[in-house]
Copies of this chain bind each other. A is one copy, B any other.
């Protein structure tokens, strides 16, 4: 047996998904104190312990794929900034969804917030050029929520995802502030037949501030720019840019209604 599956690997040991998951759980407890376990009397010590534990776990996995031993520290320096952004996402979610009873419900149960939280963590690790681990994180989110956000995507503040199943946001997508996206939306590439040779090109669209994209819409292509304040209706399929302050909807589809034979 001498297949690509067993052949020489780039790393002596692969990052452990179990440990990455454990670190993620600790980060969730740190970012959302009191939501996933009660806060003990001494909150400050508790939080600093969570951070230390997460650091130790993540550092061990990062060293399996990186030689620069400063990367984990650089990531943890961003953690409070990440938390601030996530707080804005939680607020945007509450404001956006009439079914939300309160902030607690959003933090404990909303798949969009779960996926965005992981994205914001994975994106920082991606910016530090850490291999494999950002994608392991984004696939954890994808698996749990059906929301597939590549860690390379650039996403602004106050991002709101509702329901979320089937959403795909590609590696080179750029999204502004205050954008709302519903289930089944694809921000994708135009054609993929060239495969690996497209690597590095901007293949996915740019979405500017205050854009709303309803369920099932597909926006494709690296040169496609959806300008600010645009609303894209359900199931719209678009491969060209749209000017600001525009509402784009499908022409009413021609439906055929037949009476059933009794």
Contact = CB atoms under 8 A, between A and B. Distances in A.
A120 interface: no
A105 B131 contact: yes
Interface in A43-98: 80, 83-84, 86-87, 90-91, 94-98
A31 to B, nearest CB: 7
Contact of A91 (B4, B15, B166): B4
Contact of A193 (B14, B212, B216): B212
Residue from A163, A165, A193 having most chain B Cβ neighbours under 10 A: A165
Interface in A231-256: 231, 234-238, 242, 245-251, 253-256
A108 B54 CA distance: 21
A205 interface: no
Contacts of A9: 34, 104
A98 B197 CA distance: 7
Nearest to A47: B1
A233 to B, nearest CB: 9
A128 interface: no
A207 B119 CA distance: 36
Contacts of A17: 36, 108
Given A194-B98, A245-B262, A235 B250 contact: no
Contacts of A188: 215
A151 to B, nearest CB: 10
Nearest to A31: B5
B36 A192 contact: no
B247 A10 contact: no
B255 A98 contact: no
Nearest to A136: B109
A158 to B, nearest CB: 12
A260 B23 CA distance: 46
B237 A253 contact: yes
Contact of A166 (B132, B165, B247): B165
Given A3-B84, A98-B197, 14 more contacts: A5-B87, A14-B34, A15-B108, A95-B196, A97-B192, A98-B203, A100-B196, A162-B192, A186-B216, A188-B215, A229-B260, A236-B253, A236-B255, A248-B257
Task: List 5 tightest A-B contacts by C-beta distance, closest first.
Answer: A251-B254, A98-B198, A109-B135, A109-B139, A98-B199
